[in-house]
Chains A and B, each alone.
Chain A
Amino acid sequence: MTEEYSIFGLVVLLIVLALAITRLTSLLAVAILAGAMSFILATVYTLLDAVDVAFTEAVVGAGISLALMLAAISLTTRREEPWRRRSAERILALLVSLASGAGLLYATLDMPLLGDPASPANLHVAARYIAESPASTGVPNMVTAILASYRGFDTLGEVAVIFTAGIGVIALLRHWRKGEA
């Protein structure tokens, strides 16, 4: 029960941080608060026993995103330009966000309850993974065993995607000197 209350408290904190980010004009503060949001999200995932997801969230959201944001801020400016939308635009923006938020909430009604043993994700191959993966791969972390062995093709494809994106950016942006590899 304490877990549920902790998660509820953390989600409230997330909303407060999100509202604070919309009000701030100091980009440095916005970047740091966005990193803090990632850390809180990582804590929520840990409370839900998804430690690998939590670790990824902390590393990507609070780690490299924050470092890249700080780099961008140190190269550009620390303050957001003050500007005002006309009130018609603001009302339109509010309506769009309320509509999309309501749509997402409506979609959650179709989702299975958290940890429901009868949900489709838990009925198909999950039971086999839990029963067999430690014995057949020798790896205690089932997430690693599934990603690297059972779904080795998927992970190979993911690495190929990262590789392709990387060489695309390098080919576009790198200043190539003559005679340099």
Chain B
Amino acid sequence: MNEFILVRVVVKIMVPFILLFALYVQMHGDYGPGGGFQAGVIFATGIIVYTIVFGIRRAVEAVPMSAVMAMVCCGLILYAGTGFATMALGGEYLNYSVLDSADPVHGQHAGIIIIELGVGITVAGVLTAVFLVFAERRARR
């Protein structure tokens, strides 16, 4: 699709805003609609649209496969690790109240933001990785 200059210019302008909107949804999941899952999907959509228009070569230059693989794992580790951290601090698994010894409500809020970040990183990583491995096979043929 890269022969259409209109598509290239519009996508080049839009993709940074799509990624920025994903980060907004991620960070405002506690106040507005959405959260980690939706943010991850929007982030992956931005990368996929970029790949469709500019090709897999330029996409993996911007988002290396090793970084995507790291995202797939790190999100889940962050989520599960939060559970172990709360256990180390003397609470039950995933009981965020103990994250802030002075203010349990603040601890809950912090825990929710951390695990939503974990959800977002893994979802963005998995969707991007699945698309990229398909696109790579096609490019190799």
Q: Name A residues whose Cβ lies closer than 8 Å to a Cβ of B.
A: 51-52, 54-56, 59-60, 63-64, 67-68, 70-71, 74-75, 135-141, 143-145, 147-149, 152-153, 155-156, 159-160, 162-163, 165-167, 169-170, 173-175, 181
Contact pick for B30, options A139, A169, A174, CB 8 Å:
A139
Produce 1/0 per residue, B94-120, CB < 8 A to A: 101000000001101101100110110
Interface size on B, residues (CB 8 A): 56
Inter-subunit contact B109/A138 (CB<8 Å): yes
* Closest residue on chain B to residue A74 by CB atoms: B1
Q: Which residues of B lie under 8 Å from residue A74 when comparing CB positions?
A: 1, 52
A67 touches B52 (CB 8 A): yes
Contacts A136-B108, A160-B76, A166-B130: A141 and B31 contacting too (C-beta < 8 A)? yes
Complex: A141 Cα to B116 Cα, angstroms: 13
Rounded to whole Å, the gap between the CB of B79 and the closest CB of chain A is 6
Total residue contacts A-B, CB cutoff 8 A:
142
Chain B residue with Cβ nearest A168? B130
Q: Name the residue in B25, B33, B51, B93 with the highest tally of chain A Cβ atoms < 10 Å from its Cβ.
A: B33
Residues of B within 8 A of A71 (CB): 48, 51-52, 131, 135
Of the candidates A56, A64, A143, A147, the one whose C-beta lies within 8 Å of that of B44 is A64
How far is B133's CA from A74's CA once the two chains are assembled, in angstroms? 16
Alpha-carbon distance between A139 and B140 when the two chains are bound, in angstroms: 48
- Closest residue of chain A to B104 (Cβ to Cβ) is A136
Residue interface mask B64-94, A partner, CB < 8 A = 1:
0010010011011001100100000000011
- Return chain A residues, CB-CB under 8 Å to B1: 74
A31 to chain B, nearest CB (A): 12
Provide the bound-state CA to CA distance between A130 and B44, in Å. 33
Among B112, B115, B134: residue with most chain A CB under 10 A = B112
The 8 closest A-B pairs by CB, nearest first: A166-B126, A138-B109, A152-B94, A51-B33, A148-B112, A137-B108, A139-B30, A173-B133
The reply to whether the CB of B41 lies closer than 8 angstroms to some CB of chain A is: yes
User: Which residue in chain A gives the minimum CB-CB distance to B116?
Assistant: A148
Q: Is the CB of B76 within 8 A of A159?
A: yes
- Assess whether B23 is interfacial by the CB under 8 Å rule: no
A149 near B34: Cβ-Cβ < 8 Å: no
A59 x B112 contact (CB < 8 A): no
